[in-house]
Structure 1
Amino acid sequence: MTTLLLVRHGLTAMTGPVLAGWTPGVSLDERGRDQARDLAARLAPVPLAAVVSSPLDRCVQTAEAVAAGHAEPIEKVELDERFGEVRYGDWTGRPLKELAEEPLWRVVQAHPSAARFPGEDGEALAGAQHRAVAAVRDWNARIAAEYGPDASYLVCSHGDIIKAVVADALGLHLDQFQRIQAAPASLTVIRYTELRPFLVRLNDTGGSVQDLLPPPPGDRDASGDGTKDGATGAEGDAAVGGGA
């Protein structure tokens, strides 16, 4: 029952008005650094087997803040290019207001599974989802093998990538992923079981993380395979009435 904490990077000067994509040197601004510090403080008590990041600066800086601020500081942030931003090709660096006038914009919004961004390095959204979900599956297996099936790890990525991973976890067609939101420095949590994933949190930007901490030994159920209050059943799935 590996648990994935998905974090979107904090704010940058380009977040919102411009499609930053893989533009080099886009760092967190003062607001983004504050967000990263606040997020690190919230997540400090949550056991993390690893912290993984997109290789882009804004994600690395956010992930490093979380790693450094952890109760048991994590020395190394692992980089995985598969969690990098969608490659927007010729759209990279252009204002969103300008892009909204492009014919492809409507396709991206209404039928994203058919969208491929223009230019030599433009990527299809379906391809971006595939690489990100494959990365999650690989990291789930790696973390479970090394730290046990109940381990948690954190990945810092980008809005469209997080939305695509959430859509996959919910069994939604990619064409529905624009209905999902992932704000800067937000926390999304997915718990992967043998049967199916469970979306535990979505676009969370504040509040307690108590439910992400390991349960005390006294809260284990009689079988030792789950927790009380319908959190998990003996097979690692949600109990009946547990919100599945």
Structure 2
Amino acid sequence: MTTLLLVRHGLTAMTGPVLAGWTPGVRLDERGRAQASALAGRLERVPLAAVVSSPLDRCVETAEAVAAGRPEPAGKVETDERFGEVRYGDWTGRPLKELAEEPLWRVVQTHPSAVRFPGEEGEAMAGAQHRAVTAIRDWNARIAAEHGEDAAYLVCSHGDIIKAVVADALGLHLDQFQRIQADPASLTVVRYTELRPFLVRLNDIGGDVGELLPKPPAGDGGQGGPRPGDAVVGGGA
């Protein structure tokens, strides 16, 4: 039951008014650094087998705050380009207020699975989801093989990528992913089992993380309880 902690990067000067995309040199601002520090403090007790990041500066800085002071291998951030932001092509760097007037904007909101962003470097939303989910599956297998099936690891990525991964975990069509929210420096947790993924928490910006700590062995040796991957009937804890 590999556990994935998905973190969105902290705030930057471009977060909100501008579609930053792959614009180089976009770093955390003072607010974002404070958010990253607070998140690192919250997760300090949670053992991590790895800390992985999008290669973009704002994610690397956020991930480095979490990794600081941890023993290897989680003390060193690994980057994976597949967790990078959607490639928005010609939309990159443009104000969101301006983009909202484009005919394609409405398609992005209502039928994102059909969208390919304009320009030579524009990416299809479905392609971005595919690369990110493939990366998650690859990392799940690697973490389980190297650290055991109950290990947890953290990936720092971007809002649309996180929403796309969550949609996949929930079995939702990509066209529904705009119903999911991933705020700056938020924590989303997905537990992957042989049967299905479980969304443990979504867009958490301040909750207690005690439930993410390793659980002691069951007193009955694991006999008689739900099997890994079974949902508790009635929603009980």
TM range (shorter): over 0.9
* CA 1:225–1:157: 2 relative to 1, 3 Å: farther
Alignment-derived partner of residue 101 in structure 2: 101
Equivalences for residues 81-160 of structure 1 within 5 A: 81-160=81-160
- Quote how far apart the aligned CAs of 1:222 are: 1.9
Give 1:199's aligned amino acid.
L
Conserved? CA contact 2:163–2:177, under 8 Å? yes
Residue of structure 1 equivalent to 2:227? 234
Offset from partner CA, 1:86-122 (integer Å, 9 cap, x none) = 0000000000000000000000000000000000000
Alignment of 1:1-244 (within 5 A): 1-70=1-70, 74-217=74-217, 220=218, 222-224=220-222, 233-242=226-235
Given the superposition, is the C-alpha separation of residues 243 and 196 from structure 1 closer, same or farther in structure 2, using an over 3 Å criterion? farther
Q: Distance in 2 between matches of 1:243 and 1:101?
A: 46
1:225 and 1:165 mapped to 2: Cα distance? Answer: 33
Superposed displacement of residue 241, structure 1: 2.7
CA deviation vs aligned residue, 1:13-58 (integer Å, no higher than 9, x gap): 0000000000000000000000000000000000100000000000
Corresponding residue pairs, total: 237
Contact 2:49 2:73 (C-alpha < 8 Å) held by counterparts: no
Q: How many angstroms apart in 1 are the aligned matches of 2:39 and 2:191?
A: 20
**Shift of the alpha carbon at 1:215?**
1.3
* Deviation at residue 73 of structure 1 after TM alignment: 8.5
Question: 1:4, CA displacement in angstroms?
Answer: 0.2
Q: 1:239 to 1:225 in 2, by over 3 A?
A: farther
Q: Is the 8 A contact 1:8 1:158 kept in 2?
A: yes
Closer, same or farther: CA 42–73 of 1 in aligned 2, 3 Å: farther
State the TM-score, normalizing by the size of structure 2: 0.96
Deviations 1:110-150 (A, max 9, x none): 00000000000000000000000000000000000000000
Given that residues 51 and 75 in structure 2 are in contact (C-alpha distance below 8 angstroms), is that contact kept between their aligned partners in structure 1?
Answer: no
Is the 8 Å Cα contact of residues 52 and 77 (structure 1) preserved in structure 2? Answer: yes
Q: Which runs of 5+ in 2 are unaligned?
A: none
Contact 2:17 2:97 in 1 (8 A): yes
After TM superposition, the score normalised by the length of structure 1 is 0.93
Check whether the contact 1:223–1:234 (CA below 8 A) recurs between aligned residues. no
- Provide the C-alpha distance between the structure 2 equivalents of 1:193 and 1:233, rounded to a whole number of angstroms: 13
Q: Please give the secondary structure, in 1, of the residue aligned with 2:116.
A: coil
User: Is the Cα contact below 8 Å between 1:37 and 1:69 reproduced in 2?
Assistant: no
CA distance in 2, matches of 1:146, 1:225: 26
**One-letter code aligned to 2:183:** A
Give SS of 1:241's match.
helix
Aligned residues: percent identity?
84
User: What is the Cα deviation at residue 233 of structure 1?
Assistant: 2.0
The amino acid across from 2:231 in the alignment is: A
Measure the CA separation in 1 of the matches of 2:16 and 2:167: 22
| SS of match in other structure, 1:236 | coil
Instruction: Name the SS for the 1:171 alignment partner.
Output: coil
